[in-house]
Structure 1
Amino acid sequence: MPITFHILPPCTELAEALQSKIDHKTKPLGALGQLEALALQIGLCQNTLSPQLSQPSIIIFAGDHGIVESGVSAYPQVVTAQMIGNFLAGGAAISVFAKQHGLNLWIVDAGVNADINPHEQLIAAKIAKGTQNFLSQPAMTMAQCLTAIQAGADIVLQRYNAGCHCIGFGEMGIGNTSSAALLMHCLTGIDLSQCVGRGAGLDDAQLQHKLTVLKHALAHHGTLTDPLTALSSFGGFEIAMLVGAYLKAAELNMLCLVDGFISTAALLVASKLYASVVDYCVFSHVSNEQGHQALLAYLNGKALLTLDLRLGEGSGIALAYPLVQSAVLFLNNMATFDEAQVANKNTDH
Structure 2
Amino acid sequence: MSDGSLNLDDFGDLIERPDSGVRRDAEDRRARTGLPAGALGRLDELGEWLAAAQARVPVEPVARPKVVLFAGDHGVAELGVSARPAGGAHALVRATLEGTSPVAVLARRFGVPLRIVDMSLDCDPGELPEEVVRRRVRRSGGRLDVEDSLTPEEAERAFRAGMAVADEEADAGTDLVVLGDVSVGGTTAAGVLIAALCGTDASVVTGRGGGRIDDLAWMRKCAAIRDGLRRARPVLGDQLRLLGAVAGADLTAITGFLLQSAVRRTPVILDGVVSAACALVAQRVAFRAPDWWLAGQASGEPAQAKALDRMALDPLLDHGVTAGEGTGALLALPLVQAAAALAAELPVRAEEPAGADGRDAPGSADSPEMMDVT
Question: TM-score scaled to structure 1, two decimals?
Answer: 0.93
Shift of 1:121: 6.5
Aligned pair 1:99/2:108, yes or no? Answer: yes
The separation in 1 between residues aligned to 2:116 and 2:123, in whole angstroms, is 14
Shift of 1:8: 1.0
Question: Per the alignment, do residues 223 and 306 of structure 1 end up closer, same or farther by CA in structure 2, a change over 3 Å counting?
Answer: farther
Shift of 1:10: 1.5
* Contact 1:181–1:196 under 8 Å retained in 2: yes
Counterpart position of 1:288: 300
Give the secondary structure class of the aligned counterpart of 1:167.
strand
Give the secondary structure class of the aligned counterpart of 1:19.
helix
The separation in 2 between residues aligned to 1:211 and 1:241, in whole angstroms, is 25
Q: State the one-letter code of the partner of 1:184.
A: I
Unmatched 5+ stretches in structure 1:
345-349
Counterpart position of 1:347: none
Greater shift in the superposed pair: 322-331 or 128-137: 128-137
The percentage of counterpart residues that share the same residue type is: 25
* Contact 2:61–2:340 under 8 Å retained in 1: yes
Q: State the one-letter code of the partner of 1:217.
A: G
Aligned length: 344
Shift of 1:223: 5.3
Match for residue 17 of structure 1 among 22, 25, 28? 25
Q: How does 1:136-175 map to 2 (within 5 A)?
A: 136-175=146-185
Match for residue 90 of structure 1 among 93, 99, 105? 99
Aligned pair 1:2/2:7, yes or no? Answer: yes
Shift of 1:222: 4.2
* Contact 1:287–1:308 under 8 Å retained in 2: yes
Unmatched 5+ stretches in structure 2:
1-5, 351-362, 364-368
Q: State the one-letter code of the partner of 1:241.
A: A
The separation in 1 between residues aligned to 2:328 and 2:231, in whole angstroms, is 35
Deviations 1:205-243 (A, max 9, x none): 221122123223333554542222221111021111111
Give the secondary structure class of the aligned counterpart of 2:29.
helix
Question: TM-score scaled to structure 2, two decimals?
Answer: 0.87
Counterpart position of 1:40: 48
* Contact 2:296–2:328 under 8 Å retained in 1: yes
Aligned pair 1:205/2:213, yes or no? Answer: no
Counterpart position of 2:229: 218
The separation in 2 between residues aligned to 1:170 and 1:80, in whole angstroms, is 13
Question: Per the alignment, do residues 10 and 146 of structure 1 end up closer, same or farther by CA in structure 2, a change over 3 Å counting?
Answer: same
* Contact 2:95–2:101 under 8 Å retained in 1: yes
Shift of 1:203: 0.8
Shift of 1:202: 1.2
Shift of 1:2: 2.7
Give the secondary structure class of the aligned counterpart of 2:213.
coil
Shift of 1:81: 0.6
Q: Which has the larger radius of gyration?
A: 2
The separation in 2 between residues aligned to 1:274 and 1:300, in whole angstroms, is 15
The separation in 1 between residues aligned to 2:54 and 2:258, in whole angstroms, is 15
The separation in 2 between residues aligned to 1:103 and 1:120, in whole angstroms, is 21
Question: Per the alignment, do residues 259 and 27 of structure 1 end up closer, same or farther by CA in structure 2, a change over 3 Å counting?
Answer: same
The separation in 2 between residues aligned to 1:43 and 1:53, in whole angstroms, is 11
Match for residue 270 of structure 1 among 266, 270, 282? 282
Deviations 1:29-73 (A, max 9, x none): 221111111111111112111234232001000001111122222
Shift of 1:261: 0.7
* Contact 2:295–2:316 under 8 Å retained in 1: yes
Shift of 1:104: 1.2
Greater shift in the superposed pair: 219-228 or 240-249: 219-228
Deviations 1:123-150 (A, max 9, x none): 5211000111122211111221121111
Shift of 1:118: 4.5
Q: State the one-letter code of the partner of 2:260.
A: K
The separation in 1 between residues aligned to 2:176 and 2:37, in whole angstroms, is 27
Q: Superposition RMSD on alpha carbons, in Å?
A: 1.9
Shift of 1:76: 0.9
Shift of 1:157: 1.0
